[in-house]
Amino acid sequence: MSKMTLTTEGDRYVIVTRHFNASPEAVYQAHTEPELIQKWLLGPEGWTMPVCINEARPGGRFRYEWSNGKGGDFYITGEILELEANRRIVHVERMHLPDATPDNHVETKFVADGAGTLMMMRMTLPDGETRKQMLSTGMEHGMEASYARLDSMS
Amino acid sequence: MEGLNAAFSALSDPTRRAILVRLAMGEETVMELAKPFEMTQPAVSRHLKVLEEAGLIARRVDGTRRPCRLAEPGIAAIDQWLGMLRQALAKNYDRLDKVLEGMNSEKEKR
């Protein structure tokens, strides 16, 4: 299994790459079909996505709602700007915490890599205030749960 | 610490990045820092002020000198956020591996 890389590009973007042992068609499908997205786009352990709407077409809108069952719910809304089947998704999204964070512009590319796929994602780096909100809302709870599990294992 | 935004704007300037590289080797005074750059001390001081406000460097008083050093918390705050993102994404993609595996075996059954 190949490891993920995460780097910053200047002071505005985060670049993520990851290899998958599946065709670009399959990886693209898992990024665009709601019933597949719901199975993996969950962040830290303990979160589910009860609502997943994704209109996979240019100009289409999407809405993902997450819940940790402890009142830590939040959601993301966004619009798909460009869509090239099996190759590229360009979208814009914002988190509602409940106030909307500044738009995060994301480009995701899928390129055949041997028998699998290399995914490359370029996202906007959030500002300090957004980062604080993100740390204090969604992900922190999940992180605590992960650390608690780690503690109980040691 | 003004947050990630201030830290990254501070890092966007090549002179300020060079100053940070220099400080990574140890504490320096403004005079020492100004030497390698074709810049006046007040100009270097202005860069140091931006870096200080972004929480990337710290200064202490030593008589009439105010030597600068790297401030760990500022750098650490950026790392903390990126670390959280890295962990959330790594979990997502490990799950996606399993989803893709499932899709593959579905296809073979047909």
Predicted complex ipTM exceeds 0.95: no
* Nearest C-alpha in B relative to A25: B100
Q: Report chain B residues whose CB lies below 8 A from the CB of A16.
A: 89
Q: Report chain B residues whose CB lies below 8 A from the CB of A125.
A: 4, 8
Region at A20 (left for phi over 0; alpha for psi -120 to 50; beta for the rest): beta
The answer to pTM > 0.80 is no
Residue pair B7/B58 in contact (Cβ under 8 Å)? The answer is no
> Residue B2 is nearest to which of A8, A40, A128, comparing CB atoms?
A128
- Domain range for residue A57? 5-153
Does residue B20 have a pLDDT over 50?
yes
CATH number of domain containing A95: 3.30.530.20
> Residue B84 is nearest to which of A12, A20, A139, comparing CB atoms?
A139
Please name the residues in contact with A135: beta carbons below 8 A apart, sequence gap of 6 or more.
B80, B81, B84
Identify the band that residue B97 occupies on the pLDDT scale cut at 50, 70 and 90: very high
Per DSSP, the three-state class of A70 is: coil
Give how many domains chain A has, as a whole number: 1
Model pLDDT, residue A113: 95
Highest mean pLDDT among B17-21, B36-40, B71-75, B99-103: B99-103
Q: Report chain B residues whose CB lies below 8 A from the CB of A25.
A: none
Half-sphere exposure of A75 (CA within 13 A, CB side): 11
Q: Indicate yes or no: CB of B103 within 8 angstroms of CB of A29.
A: yes
Model pLDDT, residue A105: 94
Q: Report chain B residues whose CB lies below 8 A from the CB of A106.
A: none
Reported as a single tens digit per residue, the pLDDT across B43-55 is 999 999 999 988 8
The alpha carbon of residue A122 and the mean position of all alpha carbons in its chain are separated, in whole angstroms, by 11
Does residue B29 have a pLDDT over 80?
yes
Q: Which amino acid is at B102?
A: G
Q: Which amino acid is at A67?
A: S
Say if A132 is an interface residue toward chain B (CB within 8 Å).
Answer: yes
Domain B4-109 architecture? Orthogonal Bundle (1.10)
Identify the band that residue B4 occupies on the pLDDT scale cut at 50, 70 and 90: low
Alpha helices in A1-154 (DSSP H): 24-32, 34-40, 128-136, 138-153
Model pLDDT, residue A108: 97
Model pLDDT, residue A142: 43
Say if A87 is an interface residue toward chain B (CB within 8 Å).
Answer: no
Q: How far apart are CA B56 and CA A97, in angstroms?
A: 28
Say if A36 is an interface residue toward chain B (CB within 8 Å).
Answer: yes
To the nearest whole angstrom, how far is the Cα of B109 from the nearest Cα of chain A?
16
Model pLDDT, residue A2: 57
Model pLDDT, residue B19: 87
Model pLDDT, residue B72: 73
Reported as a single tens digit per residue, the pLDDT across A118-143 is 999 999 878 767 776 676 664 444 44
Q: How far apart are CA B48 and CA A135, in angstroms?
A: 28
Residue pair A12/A127 in contact (Cβ under 8 Å)? The answer is no
Dihedral of the CA atoms B67, B70, B71, B77 (nearest 10)? 160
To the nearest whole angstrom, how far is the Cα of A30 from the nearest Cα of chain B?
8
A136, A28, A47: which is closest to A85 by C-alpha? A28
The residue ranges of chain A whose pLDDT is under 70 are: 1-2, 11, 128, 132-133, 135-154
